[in-house]
Amino acid sequence: MNANQESLIVAAYAKFPVPQGAKLSYGTSGFRADALILESTVFRVGILAALRSLKTQSVIGLMITASHNQVSDNGVKVADPSGGMLTQGWEPFADAIANAATPEELVKLIGEFVKKENISFDGPKQAEILLGRDTRPSGESLLEAAKQGINSIAGSLATDMGLVTTPQLHWIVRARNKGLKATELDYFEQLSSSFRCLIDLIPNGSKSGETGDKLIVDSANGVGAEKLENLKKMLDSLVIEVRNSGEGILNEGVGADYVQKEKVVPEGFGPTDVGIRCASLDGDADRLVYFYVPSDTGNKIVLVDGDKILTLFAIFVKEQLSILDSDDSYHPRLGVVQTAYANGASTDYIKQLGLQVVFTATGVKHLHEEAEKYDIGIYFEANGHGTILFSESFLSWLEIRNSDLSSKSKGSEQQKAALRLLAVSKLINQAVGDALSCLLLVEAILQHMGWSIQKWNELYQDLPSRQLKVKVADRTAVTTANAETVAVKPPGIQEVINAEIAKYPRGRSFIRPSGTEDVIRVYAEASTQEAADSLANSVAKLVDKYLGLGLGGSG
């Protein structure tokens, strides 16, 4: 790094010192905190994104969002050249520069990292970063901080993509780096045309009318509302009513996180919606859950969560593969990735389908990595964050198989199965979990199967579960192992949790530090709802006793 570059960083630093007492760390999905203390972090992530672009000689994405968090929070996520999350190997550097307390320290850390990573400032391409943000009021000023960070690396280009969903930005980054069409309009066109293709391939005689006429979507008062309205215009065969489009507060009493955790109707929904297929997005539209309002249970809903979406996708893909009946020379490997939050009944069901299930820690960055090991890897978190990945070799094989079938038996069931899988690979966002693309795939599969949401929900019955969060003085005091199923620290806590679990038939419980909020999360599952609630409460009390502020747990 030459002196000129160093002085550019030092000059920009002056506007973005670390707020006193703030200690920021790269969490489950980037940095997240109260927006008021984030400018210095976002500025530094701008620098990081520019360095990542120089290192990879590719376009990088930088998204300003705190996704499901409350509106006063904000955050920053980085999209790598593949469109996936920032490579985990760079997270320690992100932590270090976010907390550098003087310009000299910042320059020193960057200089050392540039040397270690062998980053050249004179490569053939200069850094290019695409910037996006969600609808949070703090988004604009944080975007400005990101731009200044990017511009402090000489020659970098920052392009503002405006208001976008997180998955749109990841999709655009992936498409740009693959040399494909990569505008927001291209995104809408690809999603809508592959959806139409799946609908056109619905078998004759399917009872698609039984799916139900209308879908109502709770958009969490977030950026997904406007994007879904745009997408709707390209989909004449689907009736979608969008609610919570910004009239209320972002993520407050609405959205996928609220609906999944509380299992009650979001704002704007009620008794007039009984039985209708409904869905919820989260604040940046990377998560999707479905639900319906049953007739007789007050404000309770029947939740159809990420595990059920995963199951639906797995059934459909498996069905197409078996119609296609691969020849002896090629056996595509289909695998499923879940986390400890997956309902035990979903895992049992997927195993009964004959599929392999692997578990990872929370955070799509972990699940994505595992799913990439298959020809078709389906990953989902129970909270509705997930997607399907197709290997290049599988897609090439599928293209060849399709053209072979098209010359020998055009229009055969086998060829249709090949075309369906090709359409899924275009409809689904292979960069990252995407509520809009998953929503269209769910809708297409339900119509293909002729299933209502109730029928879909009956695939298996969830074990009753409860999630709580406990405020603690220091969430880093908890560390875990075995895909977060065992608490290693504080010493002794796992033993007392085990003793609680042993009291409940089919009991299961674990704790983990959240990577997006300042809390310890508690999950419990048992044979009845009362037992799951009681187990969760007991474990929350233990967390509070070992680490807490004496406040107990909350939903």
Q: Is 67 annotated as a binding residue?
A: yes
Q: Is 333 annotated as a binding residue?
A: no
Rounded to the nearest whole angstrom, what is the least distance from the CB of residue 338 to ligand G16 in the complex?
Answer: 12
Residue choice 29, 53, 190, 194 for contact with ligand G16 (CB under 6 A): 29
Residue 515 engages ligand G16 in binding (rule: CB under 6 A)? yes
Active site residues: 67
Q: Judged by CB under 6 A, which stretch of 14-22, 323-331, 361-369, 403-411 contacts ligand G16?
A: 361-369
Judged by CB, which is closer to ligand G16: 286, or 500?
286
Residue 516 engages ligand G16 in binding (rule: CB under 6 A)? yes
Distance CA 36, CA 341 (A): 32
Q: Is 343 annotated as a binding residue?
A: no
Judged by CB, which is closer to ligand G16: 293, or 361?
361
Rounded to the nearest whole angstrom, what is the least distance from the CB of residue 439 to ligand G16 in the complex?
Answer: 15
Query: Comparing C-alpha atoms, which of 253, 262, 250 is closest to residue 555?
Result: 262
Q: Judged by CB under 6 A, which stretch of 203-211, 410-418, 509-517, 545-553 contacts ligand G16?
A: 509-517
Rounded to the nearest whole angstrom, what is the least distance from the CB of residue 432 to ligand G16 in the complex?
Answer: 8
Rounded to the nearest whole angstrom, what is the least distance from the CB of residue 93 to ligand G16 in the complex?
Answer: 20
Residue 469 engages ligand G16 in binding (rule: CB under 6 A)? no
Q: Specify the 3-state DSSP secondary structure of 433.
A: coil
Distance CA 84, CA 286 (A): 13
Residue 286 engages ligand G16 in binding (rule: CB under 6 A)? yes
Containing 501, the helix (H) or strand (E) segment is helix 493-501
Per-residue contact string for residues 371-410; x = within reach of ligand G16 by CB under 6 A: ----------x-x-x-------------------------
Q: Specify the 3-state DSSP secondary structure of 315.
A: helix
Residue 517 CA to chain centroid, in angstroms?
16
Q: Which residue is it, tokens 């929900």?
A: 457
Distance CA 220, CA 258 (A): 9
Residue 28 engages ligand G16 in binding (rule: CB under 6 A)? yes
Rounded to the nearest whole angstrom, what is the least distance from the CB of residue 50 to ligand G16 in the complex?
Answer: 23
Q: Judged by CB under 6 A, which stretch of 6-14, 242-250, 492-500, 516-524 contacts ligand G16?
A: 516-524
Q: Judged by CB under 6 A, which stretch of 9-17, 139-147, 150-158, 508-516 contacts ligand G16?
A: 508-516
Torsion over CA: 393, 172, 48, 520 (sign) = negative
Q: Is 516 annotated as a binding residue?
A: yes
Contact 298, 449 (CB under 8 A): no
Rounded to the nearest whole angstrom, what is the least distance from the CB of residue 279 to ligand G16 in the complex?
Answer: 15
Distances (CA, A) of 534 to 108, 428, 469, 501, 551: 52, 39, 14, 10, 17
Contact 264, 301 (CB under 8 A): yes
Q: Is 512 annotated as a binding residue?
A: yes
Rounded to the nearest whole angstrom, what is the least distance from the CB of residue 514 to ligand G16 in the complex?
Answer: 3
Distance CA 70, CA 44 (A): 23
Residue 521 engages ligand G16 in binding (rule: CB under 6 A)? yes
Residue choice 517, 522, 534, 553 for contact with ligand G16 (CB under 6 A): 517
Residue 514 engages ligand G16 in binding (rule: CB under 6 A)? yes
Containing 468, the helix (H) or strand (E) segment is strand 465-472
Q: Is 401 annotated as a binding residue?
A: no
Q: Is 282 annotated as a binding residue?
A: yes
Q: Specify the 3-state DSSP secondary structure of 513.
A: strand
Query: Comparing C-alpha atoms, which of 387, 381, 334 is closest to residue 362?
Result: 381
Residue choice 44, 52, 55, 68 for contact with ligand G16 (CB under 6 A): 68
Q: What are phi and psi of 184, to 5 degrees?
A: -65, -35
Q: Specify the 3-state DSSP secondary structure of 13.
A: helix
Q: Judged by CB under 6 A, which stretch of 199-207, 324-332, 346-354, 510-518 contacts ligand G16?
A: 510-518
Size of the site for ligand G16 (CB under 6 A): 18
Query: Comparing C-alpha atoms, which of 453, 456, 447 is closest to residue 202?
Result: 447
Distance CA 60, CA 52 (A): 7
Burial of 492 (0-12, 13-18, 19+ CB in 10 A): exposed
Task: At 76, list the tokens.
Answer: 């920053």
213-272 residues in contact with ligand G16 (CB under 6 A) are none
Rounded to the nearest whole angstrom, what is the least distance from the CB of residue 12 to ligand G16 in the complex?
Answer: 28
Judged by CB, which is closer to ligand G16: 385, or 426?
385
Q: Is 381 annotated as a binding residue?
A: yes
Residue 338 engages ligand G16 in binding (rule: CB under 6 A)? no
Q: Judged by CB under 6 A, which stretch of 40-48, 177-185, 281-289, 399-407 contacts ligand G16?
A: 281-289
Residue 363 engages ligand G16 in binding (rule: CB under 6 A)? yes
Residue 368 engages ligand G16 in binding (rule: CB under 6 A)? no
User: What single string gives the DSSP state of each residue in 22-89?
Assistant: -----BBTBEEEEGGG-HHHHHHHHHHHHHHHHHHTSEEEEEE--TTS-TTEEEEEEE-TTSSBPPGG
Q: Judged by CB under 6 A, which stretch of 35-43, 301-309, 362-370, 407-415 contacts ligand G16?
A: 362-370
Residue choice 62, 130, 350, 364 for contact with ligand G16 (CB under 6 A): 364
For residue 519, count other CB atoms closer than 10 A to its CB.
Answer: 17
Q: Is 284 annotated as a binding residue?
A: yes
Rounded to the nearest whole angstrom, what is the least distance from the CB of residue 177 to ligand G16 in the complex?
Answer: 21
Query: Comparing C-alpha atoms, which of 63, 3, 53, 73 is closest to residue 518?
Result: 73
Q: Which residue is it, tokens 């850094």?
A: 127
Distance CA 432, CA 365 (A): 9
Rounded to the nearest whole angstrom, what is the least distance from the CB of residue 393 to ligand G16 in the complex?
Answer: 27
Residue 287 engages ligand G16 in binding (rule: CB under 6 A)? yes
Distance CA 135, CA 124 (A): 36
Q: Is 387 annotated as a binding residue?
A: no
Residue 82 engages ligand G16 in binding (rule: CB under 6 A)? no
Binding residues for Mg(2+): 67, 282, 284, 286
Which residues are documented as binding site? 67, 282, 284, 286, 381-383, 512-516, 521
* Interface contacts to ligand G16, rule CB under 6 A: 28-29, 67-68, 282, 286-287, 362-364, 381, 383, 385, 514-517, 521
